Structure 1
Amino acid sequence: MLLPMSPADSMFLLGESREHPMHVGGLALFAPPEGAGARDVRAMLDAALTRADVAPLLRKRARRSLASLGQWGWETDKDIDLGHHVRHDALPAPGGLAELLELVSRLHAGLLDRGRPLWEMHLIEGLADGRFAVYMKIHHALVDGVSAMKLLRSALSEDSDLREMPAPWEPLVRERPSLTLVTDAPDDGTVEGSRGGPLDLPGAAVRAVRGAVGLLPALATTVDRAWHERGGSLSLAAPKSILNVQIGGARRFAARSWPIERLRLVAKADDATINDVVLAMCSGALRNYMDDLDALPVDPLIAMVPVSLRRAVEEGQEGKAGNDFGVLSCNLATHLDDPA
């Protein structure tokens, strides 16, 4: 039986191709407890795999059928193969950050198997300094970036002596109602939704179509404002550049990290936000890179910036799974020598 999928979530499945993967990923670095090493970490992984317990959210598998009128929906995988989803990797010597990021770049490039729940987790050992890494990727149809990070964080503790914490793919000790998914459906042609209401499949498909149609007026207004340069969340005035080309499947990423306290101090000194500081860093890096190549456009670059639309929740509670974000067009002021 299928549970309905929102139009916003299904758009990430409809828009996906080999050249345009639609998953998000996160990489976290950890130091083993004092006196522990790679063998102990692997033992923890093996113990969690033996339990074979998977959170309802991560049992959801995307499917569509004639009964749903071709609309994407979710079904529950009751016999999930954890050996496919949870994997163990080791870095080649010397096991530095460069080797780690190269491995993660390759892992991130592959599409998720739509015949299975849309997620993977990799335990990566072999870092020369004794640390280990966890890389997890999950399809955007399941969660957005904020939800994915909350999912990983829910399995962590600040107490290094605490044991028996759930693995990132396991249910929380206290399962949140907003993350529960009914796994036993009745046989009367209906399914139970996550909030307990019965949903008939034809009706769910009609609601999905209505939701998609409801997006059209808002999209038309947004495009009209952008076309006439009246501001808004979309811009059609981005200049031609070496970056504005057709995207192919063969591409890689590089990463750097900065202490969050450093960014907070910079933001405080300029009466700005951390988001402002990050955008300014991106602007400066792009300007320098393109200027060195003598390819800097005269007009400023425009960035599409995702914005979380989640409401604040009480401490100890998680927001709902799925996607809840918008996008804004941001002028990066790359045409200025000193934007400040």
Structure 2
Amino acid sequence: MQLFELPPGADPSYVGSVHKALIESGDLRPLFRRRPRGPVNSVGQWVWTNDDLLDLEYHVRLSALPSPGRVRELLELVSRLHGSLLDRHRPLWESHLIEGLQGGRFAVYTKVHHALLDGVSALRLMREALSEDSAERDMPPPWASAPRTDATGRRADGDPLAGLVSAARALRDVVGLGPAVVKYLNQAFAEQAATLPFEAPRSMFNVPITGARRFAAQGWPLDRIRAVGEAADCTVNDVMLAMCAGALREYMGELGALPDKPLVAAVPISLRPEGTSSGATPSG
């Protein structure tokens, strides 16, 4: 979720006009046209196929906050949006423009399936869509791009063999992950930092859950987080995980629900070999 200030002199219809301009542009990069296709004629693998009838108005939506338009109302709306599954029959992404926020602001909430785009690549695309020059307001959205073509000038995403190629890439990538996984596990066990699955103690969290989600936000100065990381010789991610763990422990302690054994959390990590670019184009 991103917060933006309205430009000086913007009228009440500003966000609506931005939304209209976004959905009128049919210029999408192939990545955002991809949707999953079942394992039919694809060697048993799910593969990416292209949605040539993509309805941009479905993926880019306009919402308005109820009065008084506080951050509280914004987080309640985003919680509802976050709790709904992405439609598996369409490309796995949505972007919501949200107007009516107090303080002359509006918000953009974007949801993308991790199979389509990882965090590093998503941040790169969002950064490319923004400008530090407040006078430059004609920046393309993250999903906009010229159609990709091959050496003959034909659209590369129109290749009828794309499904088989995607399946082959999937198999290649799965095989290639082997050494990276083994290296990670060996390192984890050597440092006695790994806890096997199913060893987590019973707690208030490891119970059946529904699809409902709660979106909350809190901010800290990034310079302060980086300073802590430098002092402790660790990364920003390490600092954030430690902050989350400390807050969780305090919360459970206040409720008298702190288990005797440590909790176990799953944290996504990159298994790309060193030196491999984290491109925005998924394979498989």
TM bucket (normalised to shorter chain) is 0.7 to 0.9
**Residue in structure 1 matched with residue 254 of structure 2 by the alignment:** 292
Specify the code of the residue in structure 2 equivalent to 1:185: D
How many angstroms does 1:90 deviate by?
0.6
TM norm structure 2: 0.81
Indicate the structure whose relative CO is greater, using CA pairs within 8 Å and at least 6 residues apart: 2
2:252 is aligned with 1:252: no
> Aligned partners of 1:98, 1:40: CA distance in 2, in Å?
23
TM norm structure 1: 0.69
**Residue in structure 2 matched with residue 168 of structure 1 by the alignment:** 142
> Aligned partners of 1:290, 1:217: CA distance in 2, in Å?
38
Unaligned runs of 5+ in 2: none
Task: Flag the 1:176–1:90 CA change in 2: closer, same or farther, 3 A.
Answer: farther
What are the Cα deviations for residues 196-237 of structure 1, in whole angstroms up to 9, with x where unaligned? xxx8x3x864774676578789879988999x9983655344
2:50 is aligned with 1:76: yes
- Is the CA contact 1:263–1:277 (under 8 Å) kept in the aligned structure 2? yes
> Aligned partners of 1:224, 1:272: CA distance in 2, in Å?
20
Task: Flag the 1:219–1:245 CA change in 2: closer, same or farther, 3 A.
Answer: farther
Task: Flag the 1:116–1:275 CA change in 2: closer, same or farther, 3 A.
Answer: closer
Between stretches 30-39 and 97-106, larger displacement belongs to 30-39
**Residue in structure 2 matched with residue 41 of structure 1 by the alignment:** 15
> Aligned partners of 2:116, 2:97: CA distance in 1, in Å?
21
- Is the CA contact 1:223–1:234 (under 8 Å) kept in the aligned structure 2? no
- Is the CA contact 2:78–2:215 (under 8 Å) kept in the aligned structure 1? no
SS in structure 2 opposite 1:92?
A: coil
Correspondence 1:1-340 to 2 at 5 A? 27-171=1-145, 182-185=156-159, 190-191=161-162, 201=164, 205=167, 208=170, 231=192, 235-236=196-197, 237-309=199-271, 319-322=279-282
Unaligned runs of 5+ in 1: 1-26, 192-198, 324-340
SS in structure 2 opposite 1:67?
A: coil
What are the Cα deviations for residues 227-275 of structure 1, in whole angstroms up to 9, with x where unaligned? x998365534433221222333234242212121222233345454322
> Aligned partners of 2:226, 2:182: CA distance in 1, in Å?
38
Which structure dedicates a bigger proportion of its chain to strand? 1
Between stretches 256-265 and 217-226, larger displacement belongs to 217-226
SS in structure 2 opposite 1:308?
A: coil
Aligned-residue CA RMSD in angstroms? 3.5
Task: Flag the 1:233–1:33 CA change in 2: closer, same or farther, 3 A.
Answer: farther
> Aligned partners of 1:273, 1:216: CA distance in 2, in Å?
25
Specify the code of the residue in structure 2 equivalent to 1:56: P
- Is the CA contact 1:222–1:234 (under 8 Å) kept in the aligned structure 2? no
Between stretches 300-309 and 285-294, larger displacement belongs to 300-309
